[in-house]
Amino acid sequence: MRASVDPDLCAGHGVCVVTCPGVFALTDDGYSEVTVAEIPADLAGPVRRAAGQCPERAITVDGGPAAAR
């Protein structure tokens, strides 16, 4: 399972970082980025939650069961 953040959509709200700090972090410019290449199984739920809670819908999740955008 992988996640990505669309830099053109991210507005730097930081909801994903609060929801799943093990996968998301804010850059020096204040926008979100994914910090791992492959999402660990124990973080799949929080990553999907972060994607669903993103106000800009900037997070895409690929792979794994019930992949979400």
On the question of pLDDT at 49 being above 60, the answer is: yes
CATH fold for domain 2-62: Alpha-Beta Plaits (3.30.70)
pLDDT band, very low/low/confident/very high, at 69 (cuts 50, 70, 90):
very low
Model confidence over 4-45: pLDDT tens digits?
999 999 999 999 999 999 999 999 999 999 999 999 999 999
Tokens of 48: 């999907």
Model confidence over 57-66: pLDDT tens digits?
999 999 865 4
User: Is residue 27 classed as helix, strand or coil in its secondary structure?
Assistant: coil
At CA 33, angle to CA 57 and CA 3, rounded to 5? 60
